[in-house]
Amino acid sequence: DAEITQSPRHKITETGRQVTLACHQTWNHNNMFWYRQDLGHGLRLIHYSYGVQDTNKGEVSDGYSVSRSNTEDLPLTLESAASSQTSVYFCASSEAAGTDTQYFGPGTRLTVL
């Protein structure tokens, strides 16, 4: 069955370290999104991509970067982790056709100490 996976599921890191969160989908979806979810803020868009080699900034992109070298993967990199980036991170993908419904990965809980 097609799916969307994230790794790691849990990560603890230290301030200043570079961290990369992986997202992999097997639906062959063109669109992929990264969100963070924090109490009181709901889901906030970090970066998104509409296809290979396409990346765009979302509303909270500072301190994060993404790259899209193939259809299946959109890794999210925290260049220099900060405590304010402690959060739950969700990756999502959509087909860019029909209802264009976004389907979410299981999430990564990141703690920056």
Partner 1 sequence: GQNIDQPTEMTATEGAIVQINCTYQTSGFNGLFWYQQHAGEAPTFLSYNVLDGLEEKGRFSSFLSRSKGYSYLLLKELQMKDSASYLCAVRDARAGNNRKLIWGLGTSLAVNP
Name which of 16 and 51 has its Cβ closer to partner 1: 51
Residue listed under structure tokens 């860019």: 96
Name which of 18 and 26 has its Cβ closer to partner 1: 26
Candidates 22, 50, 63, 72: give the one binding partner 1 (CB under 8 A): 50
Name which of 58 and 63 has its Cβ closer to partner 1: 58
Region near partner 1 per CB under 8 A, out of 15-23, 43-51, 62-70, 77-85: 43-51
3-state helix/strand/coil string of the chain: CCCEEEECCEEEECCCCCEEEEEEECCCCCEEEEEEEECCCEEEEEEEEEECCEEEECCCCCCEEECCCCCCECCEEECCCCHHHCEEEEEEEECCCCCCCCEECCCEEEEEC
Q: Which of positions 92-111 make contact with partner 1 (CB under 8 A)?
A: 94, 96, 99-107
Residues that bind partner 1 (CB under 8 A): 31, 33, 40-45, 48, 50, 58, 90, 94, 96, 99-107
